[in-house]
Amino acid sequence: MTRVLLAGLCTLDILQLVEEYPAENEKVTARAQTVAAGGPATNAAATVAHLGGEPVLVTAAGRHPLAAGLHADLDRLGVHLVDLAADDAGAPPVSSIVVSAGTGNRTVVSTNGAARMLAVPDLGPLLSGVEAVQVDGHYPELATAVLTEARRRGIPALLDAGSWKPVIPSLLPLLDVVVCSADFRPPGVTGVAAFLAGHGVRWIAVSRGAEPLLRWTGDGFVEQPVPRTEVVDTLGAGDVLHGALTLAVARHWPLTDATFAEALDEAAAVATRSCASFGTRAWMSTSPLEGVRSGTEGTDQ
């Protein structure tokens, strides 16, 4: 079984599916709701487990009662959780997410865990047998330590570059693969690929939702089509992409242009499948509604 380590954010995600976004001071009844562990590294770890890999998630959950749900969800999925905040009684970061049934788009209000200061553990035992690592840029000290040790051991390293974070320039020389979203914009930079390559990153791609991926060849971008689906919910699709890609890179390493393209195809197919159902877990089930509770069974509004 391919073992990968993912380091970064873990949140409690509360999702509501609505016909239309509520107006200010308006109450609406959700069509469905679900609660799950979330965050870029966490959703990526869940994806790795579903695809038959062995994920180790290094993050902060804590011992607040709400964190029990995070532990239970990840344990059920087969994710090995290394909780660096095991003695912290504070509440975990919570994301409140409203998804439009009409478009599949979502509105997210969340905290990012920045208030927690984590002590970086001895990474030697955690990286034993690991074939790839991924960081999401949250908890900068942890990300830096993981990438530094991975580079020392010759383990391929990936970054989920969904958005710009101040720590990223110091991480780039330690990275092998960076897939960034179309919203990833380094300050004052117009050419993202040249910026990343100039910091030593060899394998680069840009995800653009339903539009083709842009894959960097070293000389320029080529378009790589992604599968089509009827979109129900795009939440977590980028995290799924990165989780599937991390596992694929581990299995294809060392990369060539051909195997990088193949790894991106594999990851894009999984991410597309995740958009066809509500929430970040239902796509993993044979039943598209597993883990989703009808919103009509709630408090009278």
Average pLDDT, stretch 166-192? 95
Task: Assess if residue 170 is contained within a domain.
Answer: yes
Task: Assess if residue 102 is contained within a domain.
Answer: no
Residue 44 domain boundaries: 3-10+39-92+113-287
Query: pLDDT, tens digit, for every residue of 23-36?
Result: 999 999 999 999 99
Task: Assess if residue 68 is contained within a domain.
Answer: yes
> C-alpha dihedral over 282, 283, 287, 293, to 10 degrees?
20
Average pLDDT, stretch 242-268? 98
Task: Assess if residue 131 is contained within a domain.
Answer: yes
Task: Assess if residue 117 is contained within a domain.
Answer: yes
Query: pLDDT, tens digit, for every residue of 162-176?
Result: 999 999 999 999 999
pLDDT of res. 287: 36
One DSSP character per residue, 241-278 reads: HHHHHHHHHHHHPSP-HHHHHHHHHHHHHHHHHHTTSS
In order of 17, 93, 141, 146, 217, the CA distances from 158 in angstroms are 32, 24, 16, 11, 17
Categorize the per-residue pLDDT at 299 as very low, low, confident or very high, splitting at 50, 70 and 90.
Answer: very low
Q: Which string of b and e fits 10-49 if b means at least 16 CB within 10 Å?
A: bbbbbbbbbeeeeeeeeeeebbbbbbbbbbbbbbbbbbbb
Contacts of 249 (CB under 8 A, 6+ apart): 132, 156, 158, 176, 177, 255, 263
% of the chain beyond a pLDDT of 90: 85
94 neighbors 111 (Cβ within 8 angstroms): yes
Contacts of 26 (CB under 8 A, 6+ apart): none
280 neighbors 274 (Cβ within 8 angstroms): yes
Chain center to CA of 74: 14
| 105: pLDDT strictly greater than 90 | no
Task: Assess if residue 212 is contained within a domain.
Answer: yes
Task: Assess if residue 69 is contained within a domain.
Answer: yes
List, in sequence order, the alpha helices (H) in the chain.
40-50, 67-77, 123-127, 140-153, 168-171, 192-198, 237-252, 257-274
Tally of domains within the chain = 1
160 neighbors 44 (Cβ within 8 angstroms): yes
| 290: pLDDT strictly greater than 80 | no
Query: pLDDT, tens digit, for every residue of 125-164?
Result: 999 999 999 999 999 999 999 999 999 999 999 999 999 9
Query: pLDDT, tens digit, for every residue of 192-223?
Result: 999 999 999 999 999 999 999 999 999 999 99
Task: Assess if residue 108 is contained within a domain.
Answer: no
Find the CATH number of the domain harbouring 176: 3.40.1190.20
pTM for this one? 0.91
Name the region of 108 (left: φ>0; alpha: ψ -120 to 50; beta: rest): beta
| 297: pLDDT strictly greater than 70 | no
Categorize the per-residue pLDDT at 113 as very low, low, confident or very high, splitting at 50, 70 and 90.
Answer: confident
Which has the higher per-residue pLDDT, 291 or 154? Answer: 154
Average pLDDT, stretch 281-294? 55
Contacts of 54 (CB under 8 A, 6+ apart): 1, 2, 3, 4, 48, 80
- Of 63-67, 107-111, 219-223, 287-291, the poorest mean pLDDT is in 287-291
Residue among 218, 224, 157, 211 nearest 182 (CA): 211
Contacts of 230 (CB under 8 A, 6+ apart): 276
